[in-house]
């Protein structure tokens, strides 16, 4: 496992970095190149506090609807603590640990850009929590993804911050070494000092659509992986049905002008190369779910690529408010705006969710075709040899149908919704967090649909080989490797058994990228 330290400089963070930190616990450090910018912007905040002027939102004023309320220097630290306490209003089940880790890394990287006016210790504390495995409990619901993910980020901030009283019950909760405990206790056991926030720092911690971006980054990685496995499942099913290769000809794909489509067709051609089953039926054309697969999978790939571009921009963005620009000539070097607004993520995640739902939709149609004796080119009904006494993959297809139907509800765009908040000061919100959560759930559902397709395709291949008296070397190079890997984990279905176990084994093969490994 790679252990090289990932340096956070605010500008060069990637989705691959997020995955490595969130899932493989790669160590993190604050890049030396970022320190000068961080310290310089902090010096400007200190100057504003000392002088009491100019009036700067969030430094010497209240927040949201209280933006016009002046705050003096003596109250600034308590203002920050109150912000975190009052905004810790999330509800629901805790976010997954990998989302929490991704959130901490993205927030640290945003602050490392040097526009937020925090002390280096704020960023370093986040990094130490990552490196020592302190994972705050963050309720999943309670953000509209517009003034940032205020509630979930405040629950995160509860764990790393304190006030003079340092009450255990106001320290949030965290997981440390597999045990759930108060945030104060977790930090003590990890030997990480909790910090008393100074002016601007609370706002810098909880302002920004960072939870939305964290969920989005994970969903994008998983969607890309799922698209690759959709191509494998399609190719295996094409072998089992002795499908036509003409639909994947590169001349057809070039004529379409769509890059994702051309790439999907190329991968399918590679998977079925040297097959002795392809093009051996008398059909002139296959059904759309096979023949048009490059158009659907390719379009989904293009949609995911768009989402990747947006989210990689977001995870390298300064997203709190106000921001500090030391090149401004006037006394007030801050600018108050709306970089915390999650509209870009909301739109990208809505698009991603719809695209992945389509991967599942066409996958389920192929499952249906494989399991129906009326459509599968002479294979047994439900892909079981002793049908009647055995039900075969009947209910696996039903499960796939249920999942794709669930996706159709989840794919309703969240970005078209807006509910004004904060006494109408925040009168248009993005619902980015809901969009990201729903997209991730769609990916979860779709992964299980494609897992079912892989099971059905492997079963259909074995039945076809047996029917024709052929060995596995009749398959294309790629499809044979995938079928053999499937069989190493999931046995041929010769009689009814508990299918949920097989489905989850296939899911693990997808998630661990074991079918795409060369």
Tokens encoding 190: 């990890």
- Answer whether 320's CB lies under 8 Å from 207's CB: yes
- Answer whether 226's CB lies under 8 Å from 451's CB: no
Q: What are phi and psi of 30, to 5 degrees?
A: -80, 125
- Answer whether 328's CB lies under 8 Å from 56's CB: no
Q: Give the C-alpha separation, 250 to 263, whole Å.
A: 9
Q: What are phi and psi of 185, to 5 degrees?
A: -65, -40
CB atoms within 10 A of CB 325: 13
Give the DSSP letter of residue 5. P
* 3-class DSSP assignment, residue 372: coil
- Indicate if the alpha-carbon torsion angle 236, 237, 240, 244 is positive or negative: negative
Q: What are phi and psi of 139, to 5 degrees?
A: -60, 140
Q: Which residues of 443-467 are buried (b: 16+ CB within 10 A; e: fewer)?
A: bbbbbbbbbbbbbbbbbbbbbbbee
Q: What are phi and psi of 140, to 5 degrees?
A: -75, -25
Pairing of strands 179-182, 334-335: unpaired
Query: Which residue in 267, 270, 291, 226 sits closest to 450, CA to CA?
Result: 226
Over 216-243, what HEC string results? HHHHHHHHHHHHHHHHHHHHHHHHHCCC
Q: Compute CA 191 distance to the chain's CA centroid, rounded to the nearest angstrom.
A: 31
Q: Give the C-alpha separation, 276 to 441, whole Å.
A: 39
**Triad 179, 437, 190: Cα angle to 5°:** 25
- Answer whether 240's CB lies under 8 Å from 370's CB: yes
Decide if 492 is catalytic.
no
Residues identified as active-site: 57
């Amino acid at each position: 496992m790679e252990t090289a330290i990932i340096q956070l400089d605010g500008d060069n963070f990637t989705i691959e970095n997020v995955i490595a930190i969130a899932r493989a616990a790669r160590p993190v450090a604050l890049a030396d190149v970022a320190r000068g910018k961080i310290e310089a912007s902090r010096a400007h905040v200190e100057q504003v506090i000392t002088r009491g002027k100019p009036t700067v939102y969030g430094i010497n004023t209240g927040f949201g609807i209280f933006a016009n309320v002046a705050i003096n220097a003596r109250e600034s630290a308590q203002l920050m603590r109150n912000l975190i306490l009052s905004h810790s209003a999330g509800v629901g089940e805790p976010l997954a640990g990998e989302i929490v880790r991704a959130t901490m890394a993205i927030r640290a990287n945003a602050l490392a850009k040097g526009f937020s006016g925090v002390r280096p210790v704020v960023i370093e504390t986040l990094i130490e929590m990552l490196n020592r495995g302190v994972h705050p409990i963050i309720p999943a619901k309670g953000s509209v993804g517009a003034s940032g993910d205020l509630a979930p980020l405040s629950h995160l901030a509860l764990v790393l911050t304190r006030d003079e009283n340092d009450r255990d019950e106001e320290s949030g909760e965290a997981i440390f070494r597999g045990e759930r405990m108060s945030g104060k206790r977790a930090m003590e056991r990890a030997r990480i000092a909790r910090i008393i926030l100074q002016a601007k720092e609370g706002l810098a911690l909880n302002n920004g659509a960072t939870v939305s971006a964290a969920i989005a980054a994970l969903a994008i990685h998983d969607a890309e992986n799922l698209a690759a496995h959709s191509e494998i499942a399609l190719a295996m099913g094409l072998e089992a049905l002795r499908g036509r290769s003409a639909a994947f000809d590169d001349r057809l794909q070039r004529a379409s002008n769509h890059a994702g489509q051309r790439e999907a067709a190329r991968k399918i051609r590679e998977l079925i190369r040297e097959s002795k089953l392809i093009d051996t039926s008398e059909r002139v054309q296959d059904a759309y779910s096979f023949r048009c697969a490059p158009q659907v999978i390719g379009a989904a790939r293009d949609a995911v690529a768009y989402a990747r571009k947006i989210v990689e921009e977001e995870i390298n963005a300064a997203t709190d408010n106000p921001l500090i620009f030391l090149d401004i000539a006037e006394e007030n070097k801050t600018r108050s705006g709306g970089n915390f607004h999650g509209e870009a993520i909301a739109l990208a995640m809505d698009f991603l969710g719809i695209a992945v739902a389509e991967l599942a939709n066409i996958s389920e149609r192929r499952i249906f075709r494989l399991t129906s004796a009326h459509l599968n080119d002479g294979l047994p009904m439900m892909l079981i040899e002793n049908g009647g006494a055995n039900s075969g993959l009947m209910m696996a297809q039903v499960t796939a149908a249920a999942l794709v139907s669930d996706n159709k509800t989840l794919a309703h765009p969240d970005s078209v919704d807006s509910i004004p908040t904060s006494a109408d000061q925040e009168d248009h919100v993005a619902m980015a967090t809901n969009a990201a959560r729903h997209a991730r759930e769609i990916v979860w559902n779709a992964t299980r649909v494609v897992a079912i397709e892989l099971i059905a395709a492997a079963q259909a291949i074995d039945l076809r080989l047996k029917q024709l008296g052929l060995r596995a070397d009749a398959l294309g190079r790629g499809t044979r490797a995938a079928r053999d890997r499937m069989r190493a984990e999931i046995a041929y279905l010769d009689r009814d058994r508990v299918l949920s176990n097989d489905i989850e084994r296939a899911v693990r093969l997808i998630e661990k990228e074991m079918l795409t490994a060369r």
